[in-house]
Amino acid sequence: MSDLDRGDAAMPHDAERSALQCEWLISACCGHDVLDLGCGDGRVASVLAPIAESYVALDNDGEAIRRCRERAPNATMIEGDLRDPQLDGYYDYVLCLGNTFSLLWDVEEAVASLVRWRQLLTENGVVVIDDLADDLWPELAEGRWCAGLDEETNRQLVWAADDAVFAIRDGEAIDIESWHPNERDRRMRLWTAGSLRLAVIAAGFQPPCRQADGGVLVLRAAPPVRPTGS
């Protein structure tokens, strides 16, 4: 799989990494109430929905919802915006997996989304996202993920001029005269560990807890600040 394929929503991980992540999720989520934000075609829902107490899968793509329903018929499917889910329930696990969190490329929007997700947690509930920095940043540091055309996949990778924000173009969207994301591109952020930590804390969570065996970060709400005595 080429580097550009790492941005593919249908296959965000290779088979080995996906299997390890699903194994960790099975152990963690069995018997719990789960909300899957950006469920896609049901890579995770197909595995977890049968063993969860309840499973809600949300995506803004109607076709993705249809495919997910086929793979996880016992899940509740909702077409909606993961940034602000219009839900009334509370969940033990709120999942945002694969490359989905990268779609929150605007930092302020990412913080606002995390705040909303925190409001959906039960008392001991957690948010789980992919450990994007650990997974992808080393590849960038090794000289991969360079701007340019990938002849194998016929895709173009472009970067923002002043930020870790990129876009992947294919087909008619390729424009060799343009090498920065524009209003037509689907922008994504390649989160660093530091920027992600700051966003998480700003949203009212404790620093991320890395689960290396699952390739995920677990986010727990920070305890309320107690007022000091006068």
User: Mind listing the pLDDT tens digit for each residue in 101-116?
Assistant: 999 999 999 999 999 9
Count helices and strands (H / E) in the chain.
6, 11
> What is the CATH classification number for the domain harbouring 122?
3.40.50.150
User: Mind listing the pLDDT tens digit for each residue in 88-101?
Assistant: 899 999 999 998 99
Write down the pTM of the prediction: 0.90
Q: Mean pLDDT throughout 29-41?
A: 97
Strand partners, 112: none
CB atoms within 10 A of CB 28: 19
What is the total count of domains within the chain?
A: 2
- Asked if 42 and 57 touch (Cβ cutoff 8 Å), the reply is yes
Instruction: Classify each residue of 184-211 as buried b or exposed e, where b means 16 or more C-beta atoms within 10 Å of its C-beta.
Output: ebebbbbbeeebbbebbbebebeebeeb
Distance CA 82, CA 37 (A): 6
Which comes out higher in pLDDT, residue 8 or 126?
126
User: Mind listing the pLDDT tens digit for each residue in 72-90?
Assistant: 999 999 999 999 999 989 9
Evaluate if residue 54 carries a pLDDT over 60.
yes
DSSP three-state, residue 173:
helix
Domain residue limits at 65: 3-133+191-220
Q: Would 36 be classed as within a structural domain?
A: yes
Q: What is residue 15's predicted lDDT score, i.e. its pLDDT?
A: 83
Looking at the fold, whether 33 and 126 belong to one and the same domain comes out as yes
Looking at the fold, whether 163 and 53 belong to one and the same domain comes out as no
Distance CA 49, CA 47 (A): 6
Per the prediction, the chain carries an average pLDDT of: 91
Looking at the fold, whether 109 and 167 belong to one and the same domain comes out as no
Nearest partner of 60 among 103, 93, 107, judged by Cα = 103
Q: Would 77 be classed as within a structural domain?
A: yes
- Asked if 193 and 133 touch (Cβ cutoff 8 Å), the reply is yes
Q: What is residue 229's predicted lDDT score, i.e. its pLDDT?
A: 62
Residue 224, Ramachandran bin (φ over 0: left; ψ between -120 and 50: alpha; else beta): beta
Tell me the chain's radius of gyration from C-alpha atoms: 18
